[in-house]
Amino acid sequence: MEIKTVKISKLIPHPKNPRIHPDSAIEKLTKSIKEFGWTNPILVSKDNFILAGHARLKAAERAGLKEVPVIYLPFEGSKAEAYMIADNKIQDETEWDFPKLKDLLQELDTGEFDIEITGFDENEIENLMTQFFNIPNNEHIKLKDKFIIPPFSIFDTRQGYWQDRKRAWMSLGIKSEIGRDNSLTYNKGQNRLNQILGSNFESGTSIFDPVLCEVCYKWFCVDGGLILDPFAGGSVRGIVANYMGYNYIGIDLSKEQIDANIIQANSILKGKIIPTWIVGNSLHINNLVKDEVDFIFSCPPYFDLEKYSNNISDLSNLSWEDFKYQYKEIINKTLNLLKDDRFACFVVSEIRDNKGHYRGFVEYTKKCFLDNGLIFYNDMVLINAVGTLPIRVDKYFKNRKVGKIHQNVLIFYKGNVDKIKENYGELDIEDFTDFVNYNGV
């Protein structure tokens, strides 16, 4: 068939065309024409009506073209109208091979050009990668099934999949607040700390999120590895670690806290090795722990925001300058116990001084790790539930302080990053319903 170049003004849209083209589709076609040029002629009936290419014609006008390639078909009347319907309907019958599409889009996303010229916009690509990231045997496997949660820089604890997972963990009987109720002798801002960390509001004691433990262990610790926590606190991080088949060592000043942790671990981890909790000051962690470890994971004290005891060795009793000095010393000595080619993670948040100014605790934590030669590798934002913040935010905002509902999950790496693929293989995520003692969640 002969392709002719025809002025746009000579072409007549078919008055019976049943296909609707939203503006977003026209805009995508316009981008495609500008990038690739004209590759698909408009099809016109014998009596000069457009049969296929109404959207391309609108895109051509938007792109500023005056002429377009045209093929005249030997159809007119009802046969031409039937062809017009067939051309549109047959396209609806096609389907995507999602694994191939995903792989191809990833290959093309090099920054050489705007990936949206493929016709997939940013939201569509995000949805595609989230919903159809991997499809073995034609089953749609979502990102959360492949990685526990989507591997993005935002960890959203408000999502249903996160809350389901958390309830399943808590159904084991984890009660991290036990052992701390009586040791919190003073609280400078418990409501704020509860909001920052996610908490048991009745006891007033901050509770670490077990799903965050599970994710960080699975992503950043080698299988069966040894995990070291210099600021152990409650039972969550240890119980989750050993339940998953890792080995955990936690250091804490409070014998009462550790005794409570051990009782709880024995109750939950029946038939499993329980975590090792050591009563002591992490300032001397090099004397308390003799083994090299595979992962460092902790949530340090937030200076004087939560006072744990009257013990003079407790970091919450120090001046800010003394706190920073001892905090850095603990990090230095802890990192000396970390094997090469391994990750470390601290979960931290900003804290304010008595004038309401931020102290720069997050940046200081980064500096402590960087000064030890580690690489700052990932920075995730953990978004917590709003909880009772709406009740309190009106008071805060009188001084233009916004309500804080996030923490920073800082990931560092010690060693040669080229060995990460070698040491950390494909994730093996166990079926959700089999992973924990699922009690009707």
With respect to residue 440, please indicate whether it lies within any of the assigned structural domains: no
Beta pairing class for 406-414 and 338-348: antiparallel
188 plus 206 within the same structural domain? yes
Last residue of a domain, one of 92, 111, 130: 92
Examine the domain organization and report whether 184 and 106 are in the same domain. no
Rounded CA-CA distance 194/188 in Å is 12
Domain of 379? 156-435
Number of domains in the chain: 3
Nearest one of 244, 390, 376, 362 to 299, comparing CA atoms: 362
What is the reported pLDDT for 394? 78
Report the run of H or E that residue 382 belongs to, with start and end: strand 375-383
- Does 121 lie in the same domain as 46? no
Domain contains 350: yes
Largest CA distance in the chain: 95
Helical (H) or strand (E) element with 81: helix 77-92
Could you tell me if 224 and 280 lie in one domain?
Answer: yes
Task: Please check whether residues 292 and 409 belong to one and the same domain.
Answer: yes
Q: How far is CA 122 from CA 31, 114, 115, 126, in A?
A: 14, 10, 9, 6
Residue 159's CB is within 10 A of a number of other CB atoms, namely: 15
Looking at the fold, whether 251 and 381 belong to one and the same domain comes out as yes
- 335 & 282 share domain: yes
d(Cα 426, Cα 238) in Å, to the nearest integer? 24
Q: Are residues 202 and 265 in the same domain?
A: yes
Q: Determine the Cα–Cα distance for residues 436 and 430; give it in Å rounded to an integer.
A: 10
pLDDT value of residue 94 = 67
Q: How far apart are CA 64 and CA 371, in angstroms?
A: 57
Residue 227, pLDDT score: 98
pLDDT values of the chain reduced to their tens digit, one per residue, 441 residues: 789 999 988 889 998 888 888 888 888 888 888 888 888 899 999 888 999 989 888 988 898 889 999 999 998 888 888 888 887 777 766 677 777 777 787 777 777 777 777 777 777 776 666 555 443 433 334 566 778 888 889 999 998 889 989 999 999 988 867 765 544 433 444 444 443 444 433 344 557 999 999 999 999 999 999 999 999 999 999 999 999 999 999 999 989 999 999 999 999 998 899 999 999 999 999 999 999 999 999 999 887 666 555 665 666 677 889 999 999 999 999 999 999 999 999 999 998 888 888 999 999 999 999 999 999 999 999 998 877 677 777 777 888 888 888 999 999 999 999 999 999 988 876 654 455 554 333
Q: Is the pTM of this model over 0.85?
A: no
Q: Give dist(CA 386, CA 400) in Å, integer.
A: 18
CATH code of the domain in which 42 resides: 3.90.1530.10
Residue with tokens 């090469």, as numbered in its chain:
340
Q: Would the CA dihedral through 94, 96, 97, 101 be positive or negative?
A: positive
User: Residue 150 falls within a domain, yes or no?
Assistant: no
Q: How far apart are CA 262 and CA 268, in angstroms?
A: 10
118 lies in the same domain as 198: no
Q: What are phi and psi of 187, to 5 degrees?
A: -135, 120
Which residue is listed with tokens 């329980």?
Answer: 274
Cβ proximity of 438 and 166 under 8 Å: no
Tokens representing 327? 């905090």
Q: Which residues, at least 6 apart from 322, have a Cβ–Cβ distance to it below 8 Å? A: none
Q: With beta carbons less than 8 A apart as the criterion, state whether 81 and 16 touch.
A: yes
Same domain, 70 and 103: no
Q: Which of 175, 178, 244 shows the shortest CA–CA distance to 216? A: 244
DSSP states of 169-231 = HHTTT--TTTTTTTT--EES-HHHHHHHH-EETTTTEE---HHHHHHHHHHHS-TT-EEEESS
Q: How far apart are CA 197 and CA 190, in angstroms?
A: 10
Which residues lie below 8 Å from residue 124, measured CB to CB, with a gap of 6+? none
- In this structure, the answer to whether residues 389 and 343 fall within a common structural domain is yes
Six-digit token pair at 189?
Answer: 């801002």
Question: Taking the mean position of all CA atoms in its chain, how far away is CA 431?
Answer: 20
| CATH number for the domain that contains residue 209 | 3.40.50.150
Residues 132 and 182 in one domain: no
Measured distance CA(295)–CA(222) in Å, rounded? 8
pLDDT value of residue 305? 62
